[in-house]
Structure 1
Amino acid sequence: MKKKSWMLLLTLVLVIGTVLAGCGSAEETATTDSGNTTEQGTTDNGTAAEPAATDANLAADQTLHLNLSAEPPTLDPAQAQDSQANTALRFMYEGLATIDADGNPAPGAAESWDVSEDGLTYTFHMREGATWSNGDPVTANDFVFAWERVLSPETVPAPVYAYQLYYINGAEDFNTGKTTDFSKVGVKAVDEKTLEVTLTNPTPYFLGLTSFYTYYPVHKASVEASDAWAADPSTMVTNGPFTLTTWTPGSELSWTKNDKYWDAANIKLTNVTASVVNSGATETASYQGGEIDYAGAPTGEIPTDQIQPLSQQLPDEFKLTDIASTYYYEFNTKAKPFDNVKIRKAFAMAIDRQSLIDNVTKAGQTPAFGFVPTSIAGLNNQSFRDTHPDSEYFKEDAAQAKQLLEEGMKEEGYTTLPPVTLLYNTSENHQKLALAIADMWKKNLGVDIQTKNEEWSVFLESRKTGNFQVARAGWSADYNDPMTYMDMFVSGGGNNNTGYADPAYDKLIDEAYKGGNDLEKRMQDMADAEKMLIQDNMVIMPVYYYTQASLTKPYLKGVTTDFSGAINFTRAYLEEH
């Protein structure tokens, strides 16, 4: 078979084509409730798609009011790495493909594509009439320029998500400096309306990846005109449904409908405003007071002690859903005392996850003993966790944890453990959990833990530069396949903040990349890698698989949430109320 049908069939069989804002999350994020059974994606947290808006029921004022619990560290698609930036960038940019309300890849900046018989060559046909917000046509060259910028070793700071383009033939060699000739990378503009992409290996979820922000195009003239182009609304030229109107740091962002967007007729919102308030209590109060139309994850948070009351008080507005996302702590394996694997294991085994869920987070999460969430697809329409249970990796056992700690301290020559600081990003919910875990470590291991919080952008930088011992982390799926979790920890990986580097692990991931249509071997390679990551080395300490709590006003329609918890407001609209 050829053309789109080949790829779409594989995508449906593997149930993996949906790309979300995987990436690190500032707040609570969710998966498609209840382990997402291997469905690709859902609409409105699991409900059926809503009927299209009609002019008769639209509110006169189509201004959507939101809150962001953290300011996006950047609005440069090449530098983005978190859920806040993902939400903002979705308003402003569009990739070759988008993700439709059913979670499937759909035409975006490309109106169609062909796929070769061997699954290696994609030919994208650019959409007629697609323009940038300044009126310039969107061309194949815009994607070539953007992708070269992501991969170029000269881009500063180095994009942490460059590895998401390694599926493209020659991309890794160019990014790592093995070649300086970008023409050897498998992406070229055949002409202004045709983009040809050649992959290293068949990748059934590649179409979904082209909707991810690292694959977005950028406007070459604007980028080259100013180093600060992505921080100033007046210099930001975009190709999505909205343009950034204002950005008041620490206070507010706002967007206006882009009338030059190719599908502007189906964009009902005229304006979007987002306050930046890092308080779940304030955000929830603003929602209840009618100041914002949506509250909770993934853009903000609802305080844990309000989840139960709100679910009872506002049953038609409150939603609690499972999502493909994992809450964990990551150890800096190069920093004392966590350069000792026995000490890392002791800390992971010395907490009671179910107790944390019942008494602290209070949102029905599932205790995690692995990294890949229950909702990520595996073989034969089963969850990856069904065929590779995480219960085999380690057990909670305070007595054994204490023994391992003593053995690790003896190996390192410690009579007392060096001071330990637990780092988390500013958030009421993260603080509650950090204090509870620190208390468990004190009780079960006899160690005193200092806790420290940092604002989101500072926190990301601390993790990136290794300026931590143990830090809170969260990861949402970028696509529905275990690889979106497992390739994070390859040696030198852009999102690998732990310092972990193991050639044996790298080999397993490389073999999984090359697995092609040998699905059973691919899954086994990734399961072996996860075992190495956690059971053998305890590079990270899994805590739970997320749920996502949110509040949506009854008059706000057309909001879609995919299996990873990423949210899309671009086709939303407000009814009369």
Structure 2
Amino acid sequence: MISRLLRAGLLALAAAALLAPAAGRAAVETPFFAEQVAAGKLPPVGERLPAEPRMVTFDDDGAQQGRPGGDMTMLMARAKDVRIMFAYFYARLVTYTPDLTLEPDILRSIDVEDNRVFTLHLRPGHRWSDGSPFTAEDFRYWWEDVILNQDVPPFGAPPEMLAGGEPPRFEVLDETTVRYSWNEPNPLFLPALAAARPLEIFGPSAYLKKFHVKYADAAELKERVKAAGQKSWAHLHNRVDNAYDNDNPDLPTLQPWVNTTAAPAERFVFVRNPFYHRVDPAGVQLPYIDRLLVQIADGKIIPAKAGAGEADLQARYLRFDNYTFLKQAAKRNGYKVDLWKTGNGAHLALFPNLNASDPGWRGLFRDVRFRRALSLAIDRDEINQAIYYGLAKPSNNTVLPRSPLFRPEYQQAWTRFDVREANRLLDEMGLTARGSENIRLMPDGRPLEIIVETAGESTEEVDVLELIADSWRKIGVKLFTKPSQLEVLRNRIYAGQTLMAIGKGVDNGIPTADMAPAEFVPMDQNQYQWPKWGQYYQTGGTAGEKPDMPAAVELMELMGQWRTAPDTAARAEAWHRILGIHADRVFTIGLINGTLQPVVVRSTLRNVPAEGIYNWDPGAHFGIYRPDTFWFAEPG
């Protein structure tokens, strides 16, 4: 199905690319660059664009052609958070459309044969933001000089580039054509290229060769390594080659805006990329907005700042319980507040750590009766009414009704509030002894006191946990809440020190059968319920722990069946078996979903949809709605 989608997207894109020349429309110079062009510091726009730019069209959803100009301000809580802008900008080799089909973007086209052979065609004349050519050499350099170089971490191909455990055969066919071939199907490849944090299979080789021992002058490279305080040239190379983090203003990019500010800073300035590859139907080079200004502020006061009109576009750090306050101040401060649907499998979920280093707790969490009992002892209706005004829905952590894979039993498995059955399951496990406050005792005599750790970024999680603590007392389980910083929490989870965490459910709650079910399978250490199993997969078995629970092993086998499935129907069958196991075995304990995300939009900002899906992957939050087409009716 992916092959058909790409071919359909290719045909549509090829037709669109011919519209501008057929209409006799020349590229239109951007006012922001006019002075630099006149001074000879930049070539005119016709020479900056690829020979076949991507022409963006506007559909019937209210979006319209705009005009260039203006600055757009957004708020972030930490300097490191500017990496999110790479997701928002969402220029990719292939991209998802709002209806979640794939189409070429940076690529002119792509040919796919049986999900095994992928031939990528670049746009002739495409350039990086510094004006250097974007060609097949940038792909060759990344593959041969970085990935296959034994001195450069992470020492080998990313998991998305392995099929049957083997890397691809890589070929340069000509200056604008490369090919990746596998003996077995690799349906993970294209979705990974389109992800919010994408698989980047190329790099600005002209820039990066200055930091590579194979190409750089030895003395100069040694000085660079010393000046940067790095251990080796390979560590320096990794440090400067980090497109996603947006922390190297010198690194050329293909994104619509380029960061010009080095960290640490309280304000980051992104300016438009003079060599960006997209144009509108009138021949105007995108993006419309000249500069993006990212202001750093304490995350706790970002809702107040957004309500005071200090952001032109803001959703991150805003919660549904901010909606009333934001709405009241909207007209006075020149913005509107839209409510977007969310795409997480659960707005919040509990993650019992099956890899906990404490053997007593690990044994309990690995007993499905214990996980089921904890889920049954949560009054999700109470949480919905008390925290979400009755607007959410009790739910497992699974796919949403908007997904073609949705089945009610996945959403409802073990989510009813049934204290009697929860107590029966715990008694059946032999957890009948009680201590002080009528709290059950573990087999080793310790009280059943579960510490649930949070990232500490909002009071919402703490409020929800207080309600869960009340209901869990009815089954003799005591809950304590421990807030911490996100990075600290993740490191504790990876090490097995955290017993249980609370956070968002699966990122992609709206998958199709042709999207990978990786979030429901132990393939990533960021999956809090089995971090060491995920690390084992990600590192090819060099770190972490091999899955040793039968259900987890079965999930990995089903993932293999999905990867080698001959068609969409067979992939859907593998998906349903995975979803059924995941729901029945309660590897994560979903709480509610169906919550809405407030989105603050400046009244003069156009082309931001009033209704959208605020989702990380697929979607990249604002990314699939093409922020390069947002524009100000009155440039700010």
Structure 1 residue 127: Cα displacement: 0.9
Cα distance in 2, alignment partners of residues 222 and 465 from structure 1: 37
Give the direction of change, closer, same or farther, for the CA distance of 1:534–1:329 in structure 2 (3 Å limit).
Answer: same
Given that 2:74 and 2:295 are in contact with CA atoms closer than 8 Å, whether structure 1 keeps it comes out as: yes
Partner of 2:39: none
Indicate the SS of the match to 2:498: coil
* SS class of match (2:118): strand
Displacement of 1:50: 0.9
Q: CA deviation at 1:153?
A: 8.6
Task: Write the distance in 1 (CA, Å) between the matches of 2:265 and 2:599.
Answer: 23
Residue 97 of structure 1 pairs with residue 108 of structure 2: no
Decide which of 60, 85, 88 is 2:86's aligned counterpart.
Answer: 88
Does 2:416 correspond to 1:385?
A: no
**Aligned-pair distance for 1:408?**
3.8
Tell me whether 1:540 sits opposite 2:616 in the alignment. Answer: no
The one-letter code matched in structure 1 to 2:251 is M
Distance 1:285 1:200, change over 3 A: farther
CA distance in 2, matches of 1:141, 1:437: 57
Q: Which moved more, 1:309-318 or 1:438-447?
A: 309-318
Show the counterpart of 2:418: 397
Report the CA distance shift for 1:518/1:478 in structure 2 as closer, same or farther (over 3 A).
Answer: closer
Q: 2:412 is aligned with what amino acid?
A: S
Q: Does structure 2 conserve the Cα–Cα contact (< 8 Å) formed by 1:241 and 1:261?
A: yes
Rounded Cα–Cα distance in structure 2 between residues aligned with 1:533 and 1:323:
21
Describe how 1:362-441 pairs up with structure 2 within 5 A: 362=389, 364-378=391-405, 384-385=406-407, 389-392=410-413, 395-408=416-429, 410=431, 413-441=443-471
Deviation at 1:477?
A: 2.0
Q: CA deviation at 1:194?
A: 0.3
Q: Deviations over 1:500-526 (max 9, x none)?
A: 63222211221122223151x432322
Equivalent in the alignment of 1:279 = 299
Cα RMSD after superposing both structures: 3.9
Kept in 2, the 8 Å contact 1:478–1:484? The answer is: no
In the TM superposition, what are the counterparts of 1:428-577 in structure 2 within 5 Å?
Answer: 428-474=458-504, 475-477=506-508, 480-481=511-512, 486-491=517-522, 493-499=524-530, 501=547, 502-519=552-569, 521-536=570-585, 538-545=586-593, 546-559=595-608, 561-562=612-613, 564=615, 566-568=621-623, 569-576=627-634
1:245 equivalent in structure 2: 260
Say if 1:363 and 1:173 are closer, same or farther in 2 by CA, change over 3 A.
farther
* Matches of 2:10 and 2:426, distance apart in 1: 47
- In structure 2, the partner of 1:321 is 340
Aligned with residue 114 of structure 1, among 108, 111, 117: 111
Does 2:71 match 1:63? yes
1:333 and 2:333 are equivalent in the alignment: no
Q: Is the 8 A contact 1:332 1:339 kept in 2?
A: no
Q: Does the 8 Å contact 2:340/2:614 carry over to 1?
A: no
Aligned residue type for 2:565:
G
Distance 1:306 1:373, change over 3 A: same
Q: Could you state the TM-score of these two structures normalised by the residue count of structure 1?
A: 0.75
The Cα shift of 1:531 comes to 2.6
Change (3 A) 1:438 1:252: farther
Q: 1:321 to 1:69 in 2, by over 3 A?
A: same
3-state DSSP class of the match of 1:319?
A: strand
Alignment correspondent of 1:196: 179
2:323 corresponds to 1:307: yes
What residue in structure 1 maps to residue 8 of structure 2? 8
Q: Are the counterparts in 2 of residues 140 and 189 from structure 1 also a CA contact under 8 Å?
A: yes
The residue that corresponds to 2:221 in the other structure is: none
Structure 2 counterpart of 1:36: none
Q: Which has the larger radius of gyration?
A: 2
Partner SS, residue 328 of structure 1: strand
Deviation (angstroms), 1:338: 4.7
How far apart are the structure 1 equivalents of 2:475 and 2:10? 49
Alignment match, 1:268: 288
- For residues 79-132 of structure 1, give each alpha carbon's deviation from its aligned partner in whole angstroms, at most 9, with x where no partner exists: xxxxx74443443x732123446654333221122233x453232210122211
How many pairs align?
503
Q: Which has the higher contact order (CA 8 A, sep 6+)?
A: 1
Gaps in structure 2 of 5+ consecutive residues: 13-56, 212-235, 280-284, 433-441, 534-546
Aligned counterpart for 1:291 among listed residues 310, 314, 326: 310
Structure 1 unaligned segments of length 5 or more: list them: 13-42, 74-83, 175-184, 379-383
Do the aligned partners of 2:302 and 2:317 also contact (CA within 8 Å) in 1?
A: yes
> Given the two structures, how large is their TM-score scaled by the length of structure 2?
0.69
- Name segments (4+ residues, structure 1) moved above 6 Å: 1-6, 9-12, 150-154
Contact 1:348/1:541 (<8 A) preserved: yes
Are 2:10 and 2:104, in contact at CA under 8 Å, matched by a contact in 1? no
- The one-letter code sitting in structure 2 at the alignment partner of 1:306 is N
How many angstroms apart in 2 are the aligned matches of 1:11 and 1:364? 42
TM-superposed deviation, 1:407: 3.9
